[in-house]
Amino acid sequence: TMVLDEKATPLTRVWCLFELVQTCKLRHGRSGFCFVTGSGVLQEGRGDISVAMALARHISTVRLEQAGASRQTDKDMIFGLVRSMPGGFDGMNRYVRHTVSRA
């Protein structure tokens, strides 16, 4: 489950994106992900339309290398892990887009 605001802020944060990928990998590609807003679950048609639109905008442009973190050491650690993965940032970005769009 990912709680979203009207700006889909979690999709701009390093830890949130990294945790999304790790969760899906541990589930062997089955996302089972729910996006929750203050007005309900998007997949159940109960979420705010502005949040759904923000999610759609962010999915198409999500770039982990532009994501923020409150601690530079966290960002450096995650970036190092991503660089060591097959496909690096490009592969991770494709994976996030694909996973979120399927949820």
Please report the DSSP string for 8-74 in residue order: -GGGGBHHHHHHHHHHHHHTTT-----EEETTEEGGGT-S-HHHHHHHHHHHHH--GGG-B-S-HHH
Mean pLDDT in residue range 8-22: 85
H/E stretch holding 88: helix 88-102
Tens-digit pLDDT profile for residues 33-76: 777 887 878 778 777 777 777 777 777 888 999 999 999 999 99
Alpha carbon 81 to chain centroid, angstroms: 16
- Residues 34 and 49: their CA atoms lie apart, in Å, by 15
- Residues 99 and 19: their CA atoms lie apart, in Å, by 12
- Residues 97 and 47: their CA atoms lie apart, in Å, by 20
- Phi first, then psi, for residue 6 (nearest 5°) are -70, -10
More confident residue, 65 or 7: 65
